Amino acid sequence: MSASRVFVARLAGCTVFDPAGDRLGKVRDVLVVYRNNRSPRVVGLIVEVPGKRRVFLSIGRVTSIGSGQIITTGFINVRRFGQRGGEVRVIAELLGRKVLFNDGTGEATIEDVAIEADGAGDWQVTQLFVRRPKLGSSPFAKGTTEFAAWAEVTEKTTAGQAQSAEQLIATYSELKPADLASTLLDLPQARMLEVAGELPDARLADALEEMPESEQVEILSQLDDDRAADVLDQMQPDDAADLIAQLSDERGEKLLTLMQPEEADDVRMLLSYGPDTAGGLMTTEPIIVSADATVAEGLALIRRHELAPALGAAIFVTLPPYEPPTGRYLGIVHFQRMLRYPPHERLGTLLDTGLDPVTADTSAAEVSRILASYNLVSVPVVDDNHRLVGVVTIDDVLDYLLPDDWRSHDDDDAPTKRVPNRFAQALAAEPIATKATLRGLRRRIGNGTQQPG
């Protein structure tokens, strides 16, 4: 087996391949068991396979570790991973723990763990990369780092107790929001709440947007009102509105009072609409420009890295003001059409006026039919005065149509999928149209198409 010594934090996110070179998943953690008077033994890897399911891969089935990839024998049990008593996840539970040096020179914090294979092919923890407490009062000062053999230190906390989340957060810093949310949900509850509490506001907001409502409420309930309001400020208005709607009226109103006024106003407006309407599904942060804006300016706005792909598929043109509710809505310009014209072309000459906007009280079923029928990924929403108030995107509709537990659903968790009442009612009322709509939406996702205009 290649690579006799490997640092666990560097394994996070490494791709796992079978002998034929086909990708099986990504490493999310390393599982060890403690032994009396000996260093912990590695029993396997926790691997995330397609569908965001975490499964166990025995270390005995790993044939090579190196160059940022892991090769296996090709056999993986796809049953969802369940942690057993005595097992410890290195990244989730060991990094950040305090240790005491047996020579009496003080304590340190574990920042990484080295695992090493012996001659028989078994892996064990051999070294710890630790950081001593900082010296002096400077906020920029850091303690010295060093390597320590497992036998040279003793854990200050026992297995399962809470430890600093700082190193764990650093390890997960490059994860996409959906992967971060999945990783947090896979932690023991106490650890999940601890890590969530120490995440930066924007990072926690991204993760909350990808979580089921029950976990969102659970995490938010552990935050004080000021911190909770700061996190809600960082969320997309429609996601923040959905979350606040799950809270008690008293706390929801208090958090709205503490939020930034402009963010709170958007959320209040969204809360005023029914959940089964375009107003209840829409987001209030599309790209909005004047008719005099050029193709070059429009493409520059679409290139912003923080913009969701569905919102970057089109630009909406209105009269001033350009914040919802805008001036009179004029039309939509699809990004594909912009690519066909020179940079100096005015967007007002490229409007797709054949697409009628919907009103805020349009039913969710009707919005989904429009998206599917016209190969769209977004549709504008206007008020009675024809002012743009928001945009419903395809991901908003899918969030509405899919089962409430779609983020965590496993086909082997239950014999049948649970269909939410709101969708069951729509299906009963219009079965043929709704089934056709779902097929159309699935094609949009599969092909990544958008009406070119």
CA 274 to CA 400: how far, in whole Å? 12
What DSSP character marks residue 450? -
Q: DSSP secondary structure string, 133-166?
A: PP-SS-TT----EEEEEGGGEEESS-TTS----H
- Here the CATH number for the domain that contains residue 218 is 1.25.60.10
pLDDT of residue 451: 47
pLDDT of residue 232: 95
Give the end of a domain, one of 272, 296, 323: 272
CA 385 to CA 126: how far, in whole Å? 70
In the chain, the amino acid numbered 438 is L
Give the end of a domain, one of 229, 256, 272: 272
Q: What is the pLDDT of residues 154-212, one digit of tens each?
A: 887 544 444 556 666 766 777 788 888 888 887 778 878 888 888 889 899 999 998 88
> Residue 403, Cβ neighbours under 10 Å: how many?
12
Cβ atoms 124, 39 nearer than 8 A: yes
Within-domain flag for 102: yes
The share of the chain scoring above pLDDT 70, in percent, equals 83
pLDDT of residue 3: 54
Within-domain flag for 432: yes
Q: What is the pLDDT of residues 11-56, one digit of tens each?
A: 888 899 988 888 999 999 999 988 877 889 999 999 988 877 888 9
Task: Check whether residue 20 and residue 98 sit in a common domain.
Answer: yes
The share of the chain scoring above pLDDT 90, in percent, equals 43
Task: Check whether residue 266 and residue 310 sit in a common domain.
Answer: no
Scan for tokens 């706390």, then name that residue: 251
Within-domain flag for 162: no
Token pair in block for residue 121: 């092919």
Task: Check whether residue 435 and residue 398 sit in a common domain.
Answer: yes
Q: Taking the C-alpha atoms of 58, 64, 65 and 71 in order, what is their torsion angle to the nearest 10 degrees? A: -70
> Residue 236, Cβ neighbours under 10 Å: how many?
18
In the chain, the amino acid numbered 405 is D
Within-domain flag for 39: yes
CA 166 to CA 331: how far, in whole Å? 48
- Chain centroid to Cα 427, Å, comes to 29
Task: Check whether residue 13 and residue 147 sit in a common domain.
Answer: yes
Task: Check whether residue 76 and residue 135 sit in a common domain.
Answer: yes
Task: Check whether residue 280 and residue 427 sit in a common domain.
Answer: yes
Lowest mean pLDDT among 190-204, 239-253, 430-444: 430-444
Within-domain flag for 62: yes
Radius of gyration of the chain (CA): 26
Give the end of a domain, one of 155, 175, 200: 155
Task: Check whether residue 410 and residue 323 sit in a common domain.
Answer: yes
CA 400 to CA 386: how far, in whole Å? 25
pLDDT of residue 429: 46
What mean pLDDT do residues 382-406 have? 86
Answer whether residue 411 shows pLDDT above 70: no
Task: Check whether residue 106 and residue 234 sit in a common domain.
Answer: no
In the chain, the amino acid numbered 203 is R
pLDDT of residue 343: 95
Burial class (CB in 10 A: 0-12, 13-18, 19+), 320: exposed
Cβ atoms 32, 90 nearer than 8 A: yes
Answer whether residue 409 shows pLDDT above 80: no
Confidence of residue 435 (pLDDT cuts 50, 70, 90): very low
Answer whether residue 105 shows pLDDT above 80: yes
Domain extent, residue 412, equals 274-453
CA 276 to CA 280: how far, in whole Å? 6
Contacts of range 139-148, beta carbons closer than 8 Å, 24 or more positions apart: 143/108, 145/111, 146/108, 147/114, 148/99, 148/101, 148/108
Task: Check whether residue 196 and residue 298 sit in a common domain.
Answer: no
CA 355 to CA 373: how far, in whole Å? 11
Answer whether residue 142 shows pLDDT above 90: no
Average pLDDT, the chain: 83
Cβ atoms 430, 365 nearer than 8 A: yes
Confidence of residue 64 (pLDDT cuts 50, 70, 90): confident
Task: Check whether residue 235 and residue 282 sit in a common domain.
Answer: no
For residue 28, which of 90, 86, 85 has the smallest C-alpha distance?
90
Task: Check whether residue 290 and residue 433 sit in a common domain.
Answer: yes
Q: What is the pLDDT of residues 267-292, one digit of tens each?
A: 999 999 988 899 999 999 899 999 99
**Coil/strand/helix, residue 268:** helix
pLDDT of residue 401: 82
Determine the length of the chain: 453
Within-domain flag for 397: yes
Confidence of residue 137 (pLDDT cuts 50, 70, 90): low
Looking at the structure of the chain, the number of domains it has is 3
What mean pLDDT do residues 402-413 have? 57
Cβ atoms 126, 149 nearer than 8 A: yes
Within-domain flag for 160: no
